């Protein structure tokens, strides 16, 4: 009997430890990189260990993801960075793709004005002018401390040595292989059946990176790589020209900044909708006692859902590229405006989305972007979300250069006012114009508490990006979770239309779900097996860093 009790206690201790281990992220003293692949986090950390700062590590991590995570990491896409220096200075970098000069408002419509299926998502016509190389060089030029050569060397080595295929990667490649074959005229490396533990070597990508290492940013926008890229895109029926590449510039932007209780949230400004939407939602829920309602309770889900519904209804009506449209950001995120929007909310009954007037939006969601968070040993922080848009972007792979091209043009409204094949309904603010940037949901975010760095957070997930970032911040702030625990929690999402709460399956109690249904909410557990893949860092009260790497992917936190 005694033996049995001892055994029982032992099992209990093992189970408890396991649970704790799972909920406690990697802890480090000095620096931390959390990204979608262990190889990329490791290279980022190696740069910090060499004395580089968060921006040096950003360049390395971003390009290492282009090697190790071709699903979303890229040379052929774009992204956004939000940063906070150790002296409190903040800023944002926009290296979002742009519409080519030859783009036009109706380029995805047929002669009857109908959207041509697949034209904005598959193949060369879907490509926006890539921004990633311009972005990393712009960040490095302003803040980098190590020479580019040393930063790129381990990345080039990684491409040559190759990447070990994970189970998740094997599954993703299998799923998208038919489209690789459909889009590409010649066989590509990913046509082969890659299995878990195989090694994929990226020799062409290594050569491209080597030329970029030697010749810098202009190699991509005006050099041999530019020539090869333009020839390739045009041979495949695309409209991007050398002039498009030559004219591309990444831009410094002013981040969206707002208060939530005692937190200061710093997030991405337009052309991402992320910061504005996050601010609208957080200002709307601030007056409610979420902590008293408890985590993922009926009442907290109601308040968050209703705030999300209203913010997303505004999103595409008002937002677009600030270089082309005037955006009333201050009004949109002011407590007066937001509280007025919430005045129609009651705990007794769900608001119907059809009764919410602003906006014309329905965004499809997916999780093919990628986010990484970095804090360096000097206290600088960067939060970066980067994407090809869909999984492997347009599926068009330039074998000679070794990378996929984005299908970011699909983030424009192909036909203002009507849904396109992926459910996007656009408005005037996001119509296609040459050289314009398409509206995004990417929400790289940094949180301050008591004027100090508190959290670095972000995620992929299309329209669910904003609500995943929101829930992660709330899990830490309202529900007092640690970073990993906050990342692990089940997530839900509402985006005005369709009028449903998407929920991660088998994650919410029957009781909570039944009560929500009774109150008039429609729940959808079938279309979002995972919502977001959050990679985040929390500064603990003792000054140490806790990484939160999302177990929904192969994401990994490494510290030192």
For ligand DON, which is the closer residue by CB, 244 or 368? 368
For ligand DON, which is the closer residue by CB, 53 or 369? 369
- Separation between Cα atoms, residue 523 and residue 521, nearest integer Å: 6
- Find the shortest distance in angstroms from Cβ 388 to ligand DON: 8
For ligand DON, which is the closer residue by CB, 244 or 408? 408
One-letter-per-residue 3-state SS of 412-452? CECCCCCECCCCCECCHHHECCCCCECCECCCCEEEEECCE
- Find the shortest distance in angstroms from Cβ 365 to ligand DON: 7
- Segment contacting ligand DON (CB under 6 A): 1-9, 112-120, 311-319, 367-375? 367-375
- Segment contacting ligand DON (CB under 6 A): 50-58, 322-330, 345-353, 360-368? 360-368
Task: Please identify which residue in 367, 448, 535, 555 interacts with ligand DON, judged by CB under 6 A.
Answer: 367
Sheet containing strand 545-549, edge to edge, reads: 27-28, 545-549, 535-539, 452-457, 445-449, 263-267, 256-260
438 to 457, contacts with ligand DON by CB under 6 A? 440-442
Residue 368 binds ligand DON, judged by CB under 6 A: yes
Site string for ligand DON, 403-432 (x = CB under 6 A): -----x--x---------------------
- Find the shortest distance in angstroms from Cβ 285 to ligand DON: 22
For ligand DON, which is the closer residue by CB, 150 or 423? 423
Task: Please identify which residue in 366, 400, 421, 423 interacts with ligand DON, judged by CB under 6 A.
Answer: 366
Contact between residue 502 and residue 492 where contact means Cβ atoms under 8 Å apart? yes
What's the chain's Rg over C-alpha atoms?
23
Q: Is 369 considered catalytic here? A: yes
- Find the shortest distance in angstroms from Cβ 527 to ligand DON: 14
- Find the shortest distance in angstroms from Cβ 276 to ligand DON: 13
- Segment contacting ligand DON (CB under 6 A): 24-32, 233-241, 435-443, 501-509? 435-443
- Find the shortest distance in angstroms from Cβ 67 to ligand DON: 19
CA distance from start to end of the chain: 46
- Segment contacting ligand DON (CB under 6 A): 25-33, 158-166, 436-444, 469-477? 436-444
Total count of residues recorded for the chain: 560
Site string for ligand DON, 457-496 (x = CB under 6 A): ---xxx--x-------------------------------
Burial class (CB in 10 A: 0-12, 13-18, 19+), 262: exposed
B/e letters for 444-459, b = 16+ CB within 10 Å, e = fewer, are bbbbbeeeebbbbbbb
The half-sphere exposure of 76 on its side-chain side, counting CA atoms within 13 A, is 39
For ligand DON, which is the closer residue by CB, 120 or 208? 120
For ligand DON, which is the closer residue by CB, 212 or 531? 531
Residue 546 binds ligand DON, judged by CB under 6 A: no
DSSP reduced 3-state for 454: strand
- Find the shortest distance in angstroms from Cβ 463 to ligand DON: 7
- Find the shortest distance in angstroms from Cβ 274 to ligand DON: 8
For ligand DON, which is the closer residue by CB, 408 or 485? 408
Residue 280 binds ligand DON, judged by CB under 6 A: no
Contact between residue 536 and residue 456 where contact means Cβ atoms under 8 Å apart? yes
- Long-range contact pairs involving 175-182 (C-beta distance under 8 Å, separation at least 24): 175/391, 176/391, 176/392, 176/395, 179/122, 179/392, 179/395, 180/392, 180/395, 180/397, 182/122, 182/395
For ligand DON, which is the closer residue by CB, 163 or 469? 469
Strand partners, 346: 349
- Separation between Cα atoms, residue 351 and residue 344, nearest integer Å: 8
Tokens linked to 278: 């996050």
- For residue 379, what is the DSSP state? S
Please state the separation of Cα 279 from the chain's center in Å.
17
Question: How many binding residues for ligand DON (CB under 6 A)?
Answer: 15
- Find the shortest distance in angstroms from Cβ 116 to ligand DON: 20
Site string for ligand DON, 149-188 (x = CB under 6 A): ----------------------------------------
- Find the shortest distance in angstroms from Cβ 237 to ligand DON: 22
Tokens linked to 18: 């396991």
DSSP assignment string, 40-83: HHHHHHHHHHTT--HHHHHHHHHHHHHHH-TTT--SSSEEEEEE
Q: Which of 369, 385, 459, 467 is catalytic?
A: 369
Contact between residue 380 and residue 64 where contact means Cβ atoms under 8 Å apart? no
Contact between residue 445 and residue 372 where contact means Cβ atoms under 8 Å apart? no
Site string for ligand DON, 371-410 (x = CB under 6 A): ----------------x-x------------------x--
Task: Please identify which residue in 225, 267, 369, 380 interacts with ligand DON, judged by CB under 6 A.
Answer: 369
- Separation between Cα atoms, residue 488 and residue 24, nearest integer Å: 10
Q: Which residues bind ligand DON (CB under 6 A)?
A: 366-369, 387, 389, 408, 411, 440-442, 460-462, 465
* Catalytic residue ranges: 369
């Amino acid at each position: 009997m005694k033996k049995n009790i001892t055994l029982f206690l032992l099992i209990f201790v093992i189970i408890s430890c396991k649970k704790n281990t799972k909920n406690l992220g990697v802890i480090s003293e000095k620096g931390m990189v959390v990204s979608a692949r262990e190889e990329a986090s490791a290279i980022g950390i190696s740069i910090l260990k060499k004395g580089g700062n968060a921006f040096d590590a950003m360049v390395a991590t971003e390009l290492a993801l282009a090697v190790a995570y071709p699903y979303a990491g890229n040379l052929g896409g774009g992204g956004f960075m939000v940063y906070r220096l150790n002296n409190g200075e903040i800023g944002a970098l926009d290296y979002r793709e742009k519409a080519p000069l030859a783009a036009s408002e109706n380029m995805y419509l047929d002669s009857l004005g109908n959207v041509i299926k697949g034209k904005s998502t598959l193949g060369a016509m879907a490509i926006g002018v890539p921004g990633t190389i311009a972005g990393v060089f712009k960040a490095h030029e302003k803040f980098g401390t190590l020479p580019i050569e040393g930063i790129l060397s381990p990345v080039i080595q990684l491409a040559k040595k190759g990447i070990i295929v994970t189970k998740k990667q094997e599954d993703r490649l299998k799923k998208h292989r038919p489209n690789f074959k459909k889009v590409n005229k010649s066989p590509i490396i990913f046509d082969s059946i890659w299995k878990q533990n195989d090694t994929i070597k990226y020799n062409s990508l290594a050569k491209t990176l080597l030329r970029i290492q030697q010749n810098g940013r202009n190699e991509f926008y005006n050099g041999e790589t530019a020539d090869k890229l333009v020839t390739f895109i045009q041979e495949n029926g695309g409209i991007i020209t050398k002039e498009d590449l030559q004219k591309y510039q990444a831009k410094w932007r002013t981040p969206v900044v707002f208060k939530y209780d005692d937190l200061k949230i710093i997030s991405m400004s337009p052309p991402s909708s992320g910061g504005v939407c996050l601010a609208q939602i957080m200002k709307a829920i601030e007056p409610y006692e979420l902590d008293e309602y408890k985590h993922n309770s009926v009442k907290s889900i109601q308040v968050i859902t209703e705030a999300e519904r209203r913010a997303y209804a505004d999103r595409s009506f008002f937002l677009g590229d600030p270089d082309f449209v005037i955006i009333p950001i201050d009004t949109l995120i002011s407590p007066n405006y937001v509280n007025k929007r919430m005045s129609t909310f009651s705990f007794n009954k769900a608001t119907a989305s059809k009764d919410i007037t602003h906006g014309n939006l329905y965004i499809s969601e997916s999780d093919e972007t990628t986010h990484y968070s970095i804090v360096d040993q000097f206290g600088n922080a960067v939060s970066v979300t980067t994407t090809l848009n869909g999984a492997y972007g347009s599926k068009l792979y330039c074998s000679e250069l070794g990378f996929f091209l984005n299908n970011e043009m699909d983030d424009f409204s192909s036909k203002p006012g009507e849904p396109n094949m992926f459910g996007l309904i656009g408005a005037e603010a996001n119509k296609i114009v040459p050289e314009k940037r398409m509206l995004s949901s990417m929400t790289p975010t940094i949180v301050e508490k008591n004027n100090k760095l508190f959290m670095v957070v972000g995620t992929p997930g299309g329209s669910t990006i904003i609500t995943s970032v929101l829930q992660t911040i709330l899990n830490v702030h309202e529900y007092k979770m640690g970073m990993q625990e906050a990342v692990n929690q089940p997530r839900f999402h509402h985006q005005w239309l369709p009028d449903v709460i998407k929920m991660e399956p088998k994650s919410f109690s029957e009781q909570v779900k039944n009560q929500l249904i009774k109150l008039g909410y429609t729940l959808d557990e079938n279309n979002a097996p995972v919502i977001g893949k959050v990679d985040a860092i929390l500064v603990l009260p003792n000054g140490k860093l806790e990484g939160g790497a999302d177990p929904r992917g192969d994401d990994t936190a490494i510290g030192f």
